[in-house]
Amino acid sequence: QVQLVESGGGLVQAGGSLRLSCVASGRTFSSYAMGWFRQAPGKEREFVAAISWSGGSTKYADSVKGRFTISRDNAKNTVYLQMNSLKPNDTAVYYCAADRNYPTVNWFEYDYWGQGTQVTVSS
């Protein structure tokens, strides 16, 4: 069992930056691939970024490439999402998720989810 807790969301102006953190419980964090997803009101859950257990492989949605960076610190059981050059359409609840296998873009393949953190970007 893995429990995930996100933090770092908030209100920021367009062009600003935020760093989200997701802390995992359990001693097996380093064996999980991790992903970030987001969901805006009235929209489906959307893939943002994913990282392999070692951190050696990452994936990004086209909409965030070059602006967002996913990273992890296995010693701290934490995965991060650095978000730069934020846009109003980045506004959403951001969720982190853990996958026993490999970093995937499909939300339904993830095994554990956090409760989400709200990110609001004003224009």
User: Residue 30: its pLDDT value, please?
Assistant: 86
Among 52-56, 63-67, 115-119, the minimum mean pLDDT is found in: 52-56
Residue 102 has pLDDT above 90, yes or no: no
User: Residue 101: its pLDDT value, please?
Assistant: 86
Q: Which residue has the tokens 């930056």?
A: 17
**Cβ atoms of 16 and 83 closer than 8 Å:** no
What share of the chain in percent tops pLDDT 90? 91
How confident is the model over 9-41, as pLDDT tens digits?
Answer: 999 999 999 999 999 997 788 889 999 999 999
Averaged over 69-78, what is the pLDDT? 96
Extended strands (E) in 4-123: 4-7, 10-13, 18-24, 33-39, 46-51, 58-60, 68-73, 78-83, 92-99, 112-113, 117-122
Mean per-residue pLDDT of the chain: 95
